[in-house]
Amino acid sequence: MVGMSVLRSAAAFAARLSPLKSGNNAANLLSRTIPRTDKVAVRWGHGKKLFVIKPSDYYDRRFLRLLQYYVLLTGVPVAVFVTCVNVFVGEAELVETPEDYEPEHWEYYKHPITRWIARNIYDSPVKDYEKMMAAIQIEKEKADTRLTQLEVRRHMRQKGDGPWFQRPTLDKGLIDYSPKSTPDN
Amino acid sequence: MPADYDKGAYPEPPRQTPAVDKQTALPNPALILSKLFYYSVDLPVTTFRDAVDSIRANNKSVYYHQKFRRVPDLTDCEQGDYICYYEAEMQWRRDYKVDQEIVKVIQERMRACQQREGASYHQNCGKEIQQFNEVTKNFQSRYGDLGGYASGRKCLMKQKERMMAAAQAPSA
CA A128 distance to own-chain centroid: 30
Q: Got the DSSP string for A98-137?
A: PTT----GGGG-SSHHHHHHHHHTSPPHHHHHHHHHHHHH
Nearest-neighbour CA in chain A from B5: distance (Å) = 13
Instruction: Work out the average pLDDT over B29-58.
Output: 90
Instruction: Work out the average pLDDT over B142-152.
Output: 92
Distances (CA, A) of B94 to B23, B45, B67, B123: 62, 39, 11, 37
- Contact across the interface for A89 and B60, Cβ inside 8 Å: no
- Contact across the interface for B65 and A108, Cβ inside 8 Å: yes
Report which of A39, A145, A139, B40 is spatially closest to residue A153, judged by C-alpha positions. Answer: A145
Complex ipTM: 0.78
Residue A6 has pLDDT above 80, yes or no: no
Distances (CA, A) of A176 to A129, A172, A173, B104: 69, 9, 8, 92
Question: B-chain residues within 8 Å CB-CB of A145?
Answer: none
HSE-up of A158 (CA within 13 Å, CB side)?
A: 6
Q: Which residue did the predictor score with more confidence, A89 or A16?
A: A89
Using beta carbons and an 8 Å cutoff, which residues of B are at the interface with A?
Answer: 52, 55-56, 59-67, 80, 82-83, 86-87, 90
Which phi and psi angles does B78 have, rounded to 5°?
-70, 160
Q: Between A95, A112, A137, which is nearest B64 by CB? A: A95
Q: Out of A81-85, A110-114, B120-124, which region has the weakest mean confidence (pLDDT)? A: B120-124
Which phi and psi angles does A94 have, rounded to 5°?
-85, 125
Interatomic CA distance for residues A185 and A179, integer angstroms: 7
Alpha carbon distance, N-terminus to C-terminus of chain B: 51
- Contact across the interface for A103 and B64, Cβ inside 8 Å: yes
Please state the domain extents for chain A.
58-92+105-122, 129-163
- The mean of the pLDDT values for chain A is 85
Confidence (pLDDT) at A18 = 62
Instruction: Work out the average pLDDT over A55-72.
Output: 97
Residue B3 has pLDDT above 80, yes or no: no
Confidence (pLDDT) at B87 = 96
Question: A-chain residues within 8 Å CB-CB of B86?
Answer: 132-133, 136
Looking at chain A, which residue has its C-alpha nearest residue B87?
A133
Query: What is the band of A20 on the pLDDT scale with cuts at 50, 70, 90?
Result: low
Confidence (pLDDT) at A134 = 97
What does the DSSP 8-state code read for residue B63?
A: E
Nearest-neighbour CA in chain B from A75: distance (Å) = 23
- Contact across the interface for A140 and B59, Cβ inside 8 Å: no
Interatomic CA distance for residues B151 and A113, integer angstroms: 32
| Helix, strand or coil, per DSSP, at residue B62 | strand
Please state the domain extents for chain B.
30-63, 71-145
Interatomic CA distance for residues B23 and B144, integer angstroms: 61
Residue A23 has pLDDT above 60, yes or no: no
Interatomic CA distance for residues A73 and A168, integer angstroms: 76
Strand partners, A93: B62
Confidence (pLDDT) at B46 = 94
- Contact across the interface for B60 and A90, Cβ inside 8 Å: yes
Nearest-neighbour CA in chain A from B45: distance (Å) = 14
Question: B-chain residues within 8 Å CB-CB of A89?
Answer: 56, 59
Residue A41 has pLDDT above 90, yes or no: no
Interatomic CA distance for residues B22 and B25, integer angstroms: 8
Confidence (pLDDT) at A40 = 65
